[in-house]
Amino acid sequence: MLCTPHEHQLSRRRLLGYGAAGTLGLGGLGGLVQPSFAKQLKKDQKQVLFIWIDGGMSQLESWDPKPSSQFGGPFRTIPTSIPGIHVSELMPKTSQLMHMLAVDRGVHTQDNSHSAGVPRINRGDPKDRGVIYPYFGSAVAKLIGPGDSGLPPYVWVKPGSGGFKFTDAGFLGPQYGALAIGEGQAPPNLLRHPSVTVAHDDVRNGLRELADERFARNRLALARDAQKFVFDTARTLMRRRELFDDPDPKDVARYGDTPLGRDMLIGRKMLEAGVTFVKVNSYGWDTHGDNFNGHASLMPRFDQAFSAVMKDLDERSMLDNVLVIAMSEFGRTPRINGHVGRDHWPEAWSIAMAGRGIKRGIVIGKTNDLGTFVDSEEHDIGHFFHTWFHALGINAGETEYDNNGQPLPIAHDDCGPITELLA
């Protein structure tokens, strides 16, 4: 049954009431507790928060600083909650949460262009078998499924336009694409128009179902399923309008009143609501020019949003179930160009992760003193796909996709999980 805007307002007030009770009775869970949340906590639903820092975060201004070296840049390092480990001074909040994280400083990937690097990284760089592999979000949507929330398994919270982004799904088929929430806005026309009664709506849906059946008769199952999936998704979202409510100003203050802060907050709400895979995008990190002034504002905003979501997931005991990954398509060059920028650098960079199946408070991998190359075992994206699948309880060495009878490995055949990262 659909809620009306009036009922919806009531539910928001009730939610505030729960919030007050929560503040008194549940300490750190604050004003965000929903009646269904306690049940959610008990479930062992595997989920992923995938934070995509588009353009390339500088490893030297974040996870792997090299102060006072030729390429080290102007920033100092600060100690973290892991003794002996330092990160850039631009991450003061995250530095105090390092005991929750696992950071690999030995990442070495293959592409130094956005156009090739973004899809290659997102697909796990599998061997070429003449098919288009799914992005990690679509893969998880397929392999883990939507859970019992009724919500789409793959939600992408991003600046810019929203809609259904089926291209991520590759050969899995469009129903494993991403439901994109653009600018934090609910999809348009989410609520039934007040002039349409429930009875009238039922009649209209009956007519729609007849049309769907006719549409499906001469179509492939993939297209038919995708059509049904998108419509079912829309109907589910209509029942969950509260997911798009204005955020609590206190939460906005904690996450940062920035595009990333707001989107990260929505991402957390989606995870709480039971979405299997949530991707949160931040754009604008391609700092070929003015890298240091750029990172001086970019990094603190990432730091605030990332540390806030980590704290919230930890306080809600969600890190037992949620795998968190923060990464770009590559790092940035050690060399500083004439525009005081850093260019693309896949040779030696860092990925941070936490949560389900991941060891806590560990930094592995090592770059040389200048930060130019990996000075330990190199880890490519194929290794990470194996690692993340393993963390989610999926053995990538044994699990295969079935692409209309064609068996396909879910991660690069020649790679395996990075065991030091696994809990």
- Residues in contact with another protein by CB under 8 A are 55, 67-68, 70-76, 89, 112-113, 159, 258-260, 282-290, 293-294, 296-298, 301-302, 333-341, 343-347, 370, 372-373
CA neighbours within 13 Å on the CB side: how many for 187? Answer: 20
Tokens 């929750």 correspond to 100
Minimum Å distance from CB 65 to another protein? 11
The helix/strand/coil state of 186 is coil
Nearer to another protein by Cβ, of 122 and 372: the residue is 372
Nearer to another protein by Cβ, of 297 and 395: the residue is 297
Angle at 180 between CA 196 and CA 169, to 5 degrees: 115
Minimum Å distance from CB 106 to another protein? 16
Nearer to another protein by Cβ, of 258 and 321: the residue is 258
The helix/strand/coil state of 357 is coil
Burial 88-103 (b: 16+ CB within 10 A, else e): bbbbbbbbebbebbbb
Nearer to another protein by Cβ, of 346 and 355: the residue is 346
Facing residues of 181 across strands?
A: 157
Minimum Å distance from CB 380 to another protein? 16
Nearer to another protein by Cβ, of 95 and 287: the residue is 287
Minimum Å distance from CB 55 to another protein? 6
Contacts of 68 (CB under 8 A, 6+ apart): none
- Name the token pair of 248: 């609590």
Nearer to another protein by Cβ, of 47 and 258: the residue is 258
Facing residues of 332 across strands?
A: 344
Q: For residue 84, is it left (φ>0), alpha (ψ between -120 and 50) or beta?
A: left
Minimum Å distance from CB 403 to another protein? 33
- Name the token pair of 330: 């590559």
Minimum Å distance from CB 378 to another protein? 13
Minimum Å distance from CB 71 to another protein? 6
Which pairing describes strands 163-165 and 400-403: parallel, antiparallel, or unpaired? unpaired
